Chains A and B, each alone.
Chain A
Amino acid sequence: MASKRKIATCSLAGCFGCHMSLLDIDERILELLELVEFDRSPINDIKVIRGMVDIGLIEGGVCNAESVHVLQHFREHCRVLVSVGECAVTGGIPSMRNHHSLKACLEESYIRGIGVENAHVPDDPELPLLLDKVYPLHEVVRVDYHVPGCPPSADALWYVLSALIAGRDPRLPTALLRFD
């Protein structure tokens, strides 16, 4: 039997909805596990990619210093990198904050927000610094393929994954192409 392809996944400024959609492939996940081995992923809680993986799936846009580091780590360790979902592809809903200054966003949440006590903007050094804006992945690193959708349907993700594993063109047929 041919050696299994390795897959890594992560969520940056996303809601894990795309990962939930991946799990929605239902019993096909057994077929998938025959073909691939999961490296770093929230599904198995492995924290860093060891060596190179064949396919990296990233949901969510780039919103802070940590997401930049994780994204660069994925780019360095994934032969094929795929933007998964509207947030990764366009910035999506989190990028709605781009219409306001970062200061205004923080003050709205931590200073003037309803029910805020001991109002101050969190400044623990453990917290990753926020970027000025939320960016789609391809504005930060080179991305090989994009799978839009909020989330992309399980069928769309299955189509892309099985195409990439089999070495076929993973571009979606019109019937599976959705931006919402």
Chain B
Amino acid sequence: MAVDVATVRKVAHLARIKTPEERLEPLVQELNGILAWIEQLNEVDVLGVEPMTSNVAQPLRMRDDVVTDGDKIADVLSNAPKSADGFFVVPKVVE
């Protein structure tokens, strides 16, 4: 399954990475090189095989649904690009 410029433009948008037009064609080449190499996975018989999402055999632990941490507004905001009055400040999103 090879990709073209239109597909790469769409995928770059899905990944939320602004990609200039002149970068699209090289990216098509790179991705197609990688995808062609990945195609060999089609040789493997995976009929009836369960997808392996984790190599930890145990079920995920449950914890009590209680508050164990908090009251760290200054910490939480300490790396914000912009903040004011205990809030993150983001650009206006309703246009």
* A and B bind: no
